[in-house]
């Protein structure tokens, strides 16, 4: 029974990692950039949700949508100001810029509002025990999992059934050919940042509701773990990010369940090392060995 409980907790946590990882993998798939500021967009989303609930007294779903909208705009601003001028620059220049943007957001946020943590109200979502196969499961875990899965399904619909989704797949496959076919590549890249950032904003609100405490540097560790999840599934592959996030969440929960909770964070990075050694293209990627 304890195992079922830990699996549900792991899948709920993993769904949060998956939402953040989707932003990493979508951006990498199109512009081959690891956006290390993505974890800080997640943090901003969490605070937008917090103030929406506590100051504006908005319900959970409205706060979630507002947070997604604010983060989508924020993501586009980051792309236009920081990354667009470096579109043709070296990879290392873009990577260093991403780290710089991350630090600027974190410490700019601390300068504006201070470093003190906040706590989400405990009654944002109804909380009661649900019995599944004899195990007692927190209803919040199931609601969070439901919201995350719904957002992933919507993303799959956008990518495969809409015009902007087709443009994103075309740019990901060959940006120059897409440009020649009349696709506005710059607009498509901005749309990708907007969608990825909106998902990170949603993850921030869900994280706040689930873990209560939020603070300005909260995006660092979940952001890095989501990057591990993206690499685990295969960076640049959307289903891979989803599966990678869920797997990582389950691994962390099982590590805690076996009494090694102090190794919980370390487990994610052990997974990263093992994946890079034995399966560098990830679970869903195709490994291509370069000819010498």
pLDDT score of 182: 92
Strand-pair category, 135-138 with 129-132: antiparallel
The torsion of the CA quartet 154, 158, 160, 165, rounded to 10 degrees, works out to -160
Q: 205 near 49, Cβ under 8 Å?
A: yes
Predicted pLDDT of residue 213: 93
pLDDT for 25 equals 92
Residue 288's pLDDT is 43
What is the rounded CA–CA span in Å between residue 189 and residue 84? Answer: 9
- How much is the pLDDT for 289? 38
pLDDT at 290: 36
Any alpha helices (H) in the chain, and if so which ranges? Answer: 2-31, 38-54, 60-78, 91-113, 139-161, 163-173, 175-180, 185-211, 220-233, 238-257, 264-278
**264-278 and 238-257 helices, crossing angle to 10°:** 130
pLDDT confidence of residue 260? 83
State which residues of the chain have pLDDT below 70.
Answer: 1, 133-135, 286-292
Residue 195 · residue 72 · CB < 8 Å: yes
For residue 1, what pLDDT is reported?
Answer: 66
d(CA 139, CA 134): 15
Rounded Cα–Cα distance for residues 243 and 109 (Å): 32
């Amino acid at each position: 029974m304890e195992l079922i409980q830990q699996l549900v907790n792991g899948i709920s946590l993993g769904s949060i990692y998956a939402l953040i990882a989707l932003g990493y993998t979508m951006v990498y798939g199109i512009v081959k950039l690891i956006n290390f500021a993505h974890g800080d967009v997640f943090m901003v989303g969490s605070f937008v949700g917090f103030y929406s609930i506590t100051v504006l007294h908005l319900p959970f779903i409205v706060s979630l949508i507002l947070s997604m909208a604010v983060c989508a705009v924020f993501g586009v601003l980051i792309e236009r100001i920081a990354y667009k001028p470096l579109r043709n620059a070296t990879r290392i220049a873009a990577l260093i810029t991403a780290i710089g943007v991350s630090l600027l957001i974190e410490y700019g946020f601390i300068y504006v509002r201070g470093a003190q943590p906040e706590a989400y109200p405990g009654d944002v979502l109804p909380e009661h025990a649900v019995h599944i196969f004899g195990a007692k499961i927190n209803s919040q875990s199931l609601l969070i999992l439901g919201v995350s899965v719904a957002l992933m399904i919507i993303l799959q619909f956008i990518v495969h059934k809409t015009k902007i989704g087709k443009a994103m797949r075309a740019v990901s496959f060959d940006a120059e050919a897409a440009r020649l076919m009349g696709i506005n590549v710059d607009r498509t890249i901005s749309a990708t940042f907007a969608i990825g950032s909106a998902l990170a904003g949603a993850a921030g609100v869900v994280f706040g509701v689930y873990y209560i405490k939020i603070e300005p540097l909260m995006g660092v560790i979940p952001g890095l773990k989501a990057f591990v999840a993206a690499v685990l599934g295969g960076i640049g592959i959307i289903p891979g990010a989803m599966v990678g996030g869920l797997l990582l969440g389950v691994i962390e929960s099982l590590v805690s369940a076996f009494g090694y909770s102090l190794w919980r964070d370390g487990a994610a990075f052990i997974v990263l090392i093992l994946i890079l050694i034995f399966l560098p293209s990830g679970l869903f990627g195709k490994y291509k060995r370069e000819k010498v």
